Amino acid sequence: MAYKPELDIDISLVEAILDRIEQARQVSSSPEVADAHQGRVSSSPQVADARRVGGAAGGKVSGDDLIPILQEIQEAYGYLPRPVLDRVSERTGIPASRMYGVITFYDQFYLEPHGKHNVRCCRGTACHVSGGKKVINSVKSALGIEDGETTGDMLFSMETVTCLGACALSPVMVVDNTYHGRMSARRAEQVLQQLKVEEG
């Protein structure tokens, strides 16, 4: 999830995402090609495209695809940049207002760029009763930011999440994609310190 400032947004990424989905929809609406997909390794985990039997017909991307599209865009850009969303709206006919409604409903969509490292602390029940709050507070004070914020140097973002499914190893913290189990305030601080040193 690389951070890209608003100025040098590469619109071609979103064009490619939409091209691929449109193509897939066209394929799925012509019956004779159904068999051609069987041996294929799935290209994207989010949009399972052509296999859809009852999806939108006629090769059009529909509102149905909105959430997977947004997920792919966020994966590519690190967040949901405004110009990219405008482009999606132009090409698909999904109104920007509807997109905004959806984006703001779900916790995992960001309209602002995120830091290079994403620190997620669990505030689920198992973590809560095992002292998760102390871990969260220590991360906040180590980074000097609050839940959902990003540090000024764009290196770290922190957010709390409701459960990471590693409850047996509570309290849990995930940095980028690495799980850290049985955390304490101190150990959380050490993990972040290590990253800060690596970043220079």
Partner 1 sequence: MADKKINSITDLQQLSQTLLDKQKEYKIRVLICMTGCRALGAKDISTKFKQSLKEQKLDNQVIVIETGCIGICAKAPTILIEPFDFLYGSVTPDDVDEIIETTIKNSKPVEKLAVSQNGEKTANINEVEFYKKQKKIVLEKCGRIDPTKIEDAIATGGYLTAVEMLNGKKPQDIIDEMTASGLRGRGGAGFPAGVKWNFCRQAQGDEKYLICNADEGDPGAFMDRAILEGDPHKVIEGMIIAAYAIGATQGFIYVRAEYPIAVEHINIALDQARQLGLLGENIAGSDFNFDIEVRMGAGAFVCGEETALIASLEGQRGMPRPRPPFPAHKGYLDKPTNINNVETLANVPLIIKNGAKWYSDIGTEKSKGTKIFALAGKVNNTGLVEVPMGTTLRQIIFDIGGGVSDGRNFKAAQIGGPSGGCIPAEFLDHEIDYDSVEQLGAIMGSGGLIVTDDRTCMVDLARYFLEFVQSESCGKCTPCRVGTKKMLEILNNICDGNAKPGDLNELEELANTIKKASLCGLGQTAPNPVLSTLRHFRDEYTAHVEQHKCPAGICKELTTFVISAEKCKACGKCIDVCPTEAITGEKKTPHVIIQEKCVTCGACRDVCPFDAVDTE
Q: What is the dihedral of CA 23, 27, 30, 34, to 10 degrees?
A: 180
Instruction: Tell the smallest beta-carbon distance from residue 12 to partner 1 (Å).
Output: 24
Q: Is the separation of the CB atoms in 144 and 119 below 8 Å?
A: no
From ligand FES, partner 1, none, which one binds at residue 101 (CB under 5 to 8 Å depending on kind)? partner 1
Three-state DSSP string of 121-160: EECCHHHHHCCHHHHHHHHHHHHCCCCCCECCCCCEEEEE
- CB-nearer residue toward partner 1: 5 or 40: 40
Supply 7's token pair: 């100025």
Residues at the contact surface with partner 1, assessed by CB under 8 A: 34-35, 37-42, 45-46, 48, 51-54, 62-68, 70-71, 101-102, 105-109, 122-131, 134, 161-170, 172, 177, 179-182, 185-186
d(CA 148, CA 84) in angstroms, rounded, equals 22
Instruction: Tell the smallest beta-carbon distance from residue 149 to ligand FES (Å).
Output: 21
d(CA 171, CA 128) in angstroms, rounded, equals 7
Instruction: Tell the smallest beta-carbon distance from residue 132 to ligand FES (Å).
Output: 7
Cis geometry, peptide bond prior to residue 81 (ω within 30 degrees of 0) = no
Q: Does 163 bind ligand FES (CB under 6 A)?
A: yes
How distant, in Å, are the alpha carbons of 5, 66, 186, 195 from that of 190? 29, 40, 6, 9
From partner 1, ligand FES, none, which one binds at residue 48 (CB under 5 to 8 Å depending on kind)? partner 1
- CB-nearer residue toward partner 1: 92 or 150: 92
Q: Does 185 bind ligand FES (CB under 6 A)?
A: no
d(CA 75, CA 8) in angstroms, rounded, equals 17
Candidates 166, 173, 191, 192; binder of ligand FES (CB under 6 A) is 166
Subset of 98-127 contacting ligand FES (CB under 6 A): 122, 124-127
Q: Does 139 bind ligand FES (CB under 6 A)?
A: no
How distant, in Å, are the alpha carbons of 32, 52, 142, 143 from that of 77? 36, 26, 27, 23
From partner 1, ligand FES, none, which one binds at residue 3 (CB under 5 to 8 Å depending on kind)? none
Selected range binding ligand FES among 6-14, 82-90, 135-143, 158-166, rule: CB under 6 A: 158-166
